[in-house]
A and B are shown apart, each in its own frame.
Chain A
Amino acid sequence: MQLLPFYLVCDESGSMAAGGVDAINGALPDLHDEISSNPAVADKARFAMIGFSTDATLLQPLVDLSEIDSLPSLSAGGVTSFAAAFRLLKSTIQTDVDQLKAEGHSVFRPVVFFMSDGGPTDTDADWRGALKELNESRYAPKIIAFGISTADVATITEVANFKAFIQESDNISPAAALREFASSLTRSIVNSTTSISANGGEGFDLQVDDHVPGFTSLSLDKM
Chain B
Amino acid sequence: MDHQSQSQGHDLGQGHELGQGQNPHQYQRQRPDRPEAADELSTHYADITAVLRPEPPDPRRSLAAGPMPEAAAPSASPPGPVGGDVVPRPPQSRVPAALTVIPVVQAVPPASLAAAPGALGAPGALPGAAQGAAPGATTGPTGYPATPLAHHPEGAGPAPDSATLTGPSADPAAMAAPSVASAPTAAPPASVPAVPTAAAAAAVSTDATGFPATASPDPADRADPAAPAGALPTPSATPPAVPASSASPATAGAPAAPEAASVNPAGPVNPADPVNAADPAAPPGTPSAAPEPELPAVVPEQVRGLPEHVGKRPPAYPPYPKAKPSLNDGDTFAALTPEIVLDGLLTDGLAVRGVSVRGDSHRWDGSCRQDAMTITRIGAPGKELLVLAVADGVGSSKRSHVAAHDATRRVAGRLHQFAADLHQALAQEDLATLNGLANRVIATSVEDLRRSWGAGSDPDYSDRDYATTLHVLLVPSDPALRQRALIGVGDGGLLILRDGRWYGGSGTGADEAMVDTRTAALPASYGSAVTNIVTTAPGDVLVLGTDGIVNPINQEREVAERLAGYWGSGEVPALSDFLWQAQLRARTYDDDRTVICVWEGATR
Interface of A toward B, CB cutoff 8 Å: 1-3, 38-40, 42-44, 66, 97, 100-109, 138-140, 194, 196-205
Contact = CB atoms under 8 A, between A and B. Distances in A.
A198 B395 contact: yes
Interface string B146-165: 00000111111111110000
A194 B517 CA distance: 18
Interface string B361-386: 11011000000000000000000000
Contacts of A102: 153-154
Nearest to B516: A203
B166 to A, nearest CB: 13
Given A107-B159, A202-B519, 14 more contacts: A2-B555, A39-B315, A39-B316, A40-B317, A43-B317, A43-B587, A101-B153, A101-B159, A106-B510, A106-B555, A109-B160, A140-B160, A203-B513, A203-B516
Interface stretch (B11-19, B430-438, B453-461, B588-596): B588-596
Given A1-B586, A2-B588, A40-B365, A200 B159 contact: no
Contact of A199 (B159, B161, B396, B586): B396
B156 A106 contact: yes
Interface of B: 151-161, 311, 315-318, 359-362, 364-365, 392, 394-396, 491, 509-514, 516-519, 547-548, 551, 555-557, 586-591
Given A106-B513, A108-B513, A108-B514, A200 B394 contact: yes
A108 B158 CA distance: 6
Nearest to A196: B588
A200 B151 contact: no
B268 to A, nearest CB: 42
B160 A43 contact: no
Contacts of B556: 1, 104
Nearest to A67: B313
B491 A200 contact: yes
B513 A202 contact: yes
Given A198-B395, A201-B509, A107 B591 contact: no
Contact of A109 (B395, B514, B557): B514
B160 A106 contact: no
A43 B588 contact: yes
A101 B548 CA distance: 21
Contacts of A202: 491, 509-510, 512-513, 517-519, 547
B514 A1 contact: no
A139 B159 contact: yes
Contact of B360 (A38, A39, A108, A198): A39
A33 to B, nearest CB: 13
Nearest to B548: A200
Which 4 pairs of residues, A with B, have the shortest CB-CB distance? A39-B316, A198-B395, A197-B361, A104-B153
B139 to A, nearest CB: 24
A166 B557 CA distance: 46
Contacts of A203: 158, 512-514, 516-518
Contacts of B311: 1
Contacts of B517: 202-203
B316 A106 contact: no
A196 to B, nearest CB: 8
A209 to B, nearest CB: 19
Contacts of B518: 202-203
Nearest to B490: A200
A194 B557 CA distance: 24
A203 B515 CA distance: 8
A100 B157 contact: yes
A84 B365 CA distance: 41
13 contacts: A43-B315, A104-B151, A106-B158, A106-B555, A109-B514, A138-B160, A139-B160, A140-B160, A200-B394, A200-B591, A201-B510, A202-B517, A202-B519
B395 A200 contact: yes
B510 A42 contact: no
B364 A3 contact: no
A150 B519 CA distance: 45
A66 B316 CA distance: 9
B210 to A, nearest CB: 10
A95 B517 CA distance: 26
B196 to A, nearest CB: 37
B392 to A, nearest CB: 7
A138 B365 contact: no
A101 B555 CA distance: 11
A11 B511 CA distance: 34
A218 to B, nearest CB: 23
Nearest to B311: A1
Contacts of B359: 197
- Count chain A CB atoms within 10 A of each CB in B359, B361, B588 and give the residue with the most: B588
B557 A104 contact: yes
Given A39-B316, A101-B159, A202-B491, A44 B513 contact: no
Contact of B161 (A105, A138, A205): A138
Given A39-B318, A109-B514, A201-B510, A97 B157 contact: yes
Nearest to A204: B513
B316 A2 contact: no
B585 to A, nearest CB: 11
A103 B153 contact: yes
A39 B518 CA distance: 25
A94 to B, nearest CB: 11
A101 B164 CA distance: 14
Nearest to B590: A197
A105 B156 contact: yes
Given A202-B491, A203-B513, A2 B154 contact: no
A105 B395 contact: no
A40 B509 CA distance: 20
Given A197-B359, A200-B548, A200-B591, A2 B153 contact: no
Contact of B392 (A101, A196, A200): A200
Contacts of B315: 39, 43
A204 B158 CA distance: 12
Contacts of B513: 106, 108-109, 201-204
Contacts of A196: 588
Contact of B157 (A106, A194, A197, A205): A106
B39 to A, nearest CB: 48
B181 to A, nearest CB: 28
Nearest to A44: B588
Contacts of A1: 311, 556, 586-589
Contacts of B551: 201
Contacts of A39: 315-318, 360, 364
A107 B162 CA distance: 11
Given A39-B316, A39-B317, A198 B396 contact: yes
Contacts of B318: 39
Contacts of B156: 101, 104-107
A2 B510 contact: yes
A197 B586 CA distance: 14
- Count chain A CB atoms within 10 A of each CB in B361, B392, B547 and give the residue with the most: B361
Contacts of B491: 200, 202
A109 B557 CA distance: 22
A204 B315 CA distance: 19
B324 to A, nearest CB: 16
A74 B543 CA distance: 52
B333 to A, nearest CB: 18
Contacts of B161: 138
A43 B313 CA distance: 10
A21 to B, nearest CB: 30
